[in-house]
Amino acid sequence: VIAAYTLNARSGITGVVFNDTLGDGAAATGVAAAGAVAYIDTNGNARRDAGEPTAVADAGGNYAFRGLAAGTY
């Protein structure tokens, strides 16, 4: 699963989660990972922990984190 993201000027992160079935890093038609959980790994341990911000991908694989404080994510 590949997660692409964009840091928005309005304190948010948006992106698309998809299954990279061709291994080329590009989303193809019908490969959205609907229901996938994206998270911000605030402690850097490469796993989702209680209390870390999460967002669930919609039917198109789109996810969004809104209202984030300024910083590096």
pLDDT at position 65 is 94
Q: For the chain, first and last CA: distance in Å?
A: 19
Please report where in the chains the tokens 């948010």 appear, as a residue: 12
Supply the Cα-derived Rg of the chain in whole angstroms.
13
pLDDT at position 9 is 58
What six digits make up the tokens of 21?
Answer: 């079935």
Within 19-72, strands assigned E span 37-39, 54-56, 62-65
| pLDDT tens-digit map of 15-72 | 999 888 888 888 888 788 899 999 999 999 999 999 999 999 999 999 999 988 877 8
State pTM to two decimals.
Answer: 0.75
Does the pLDDT of residue 3 top 70, yes or no? no
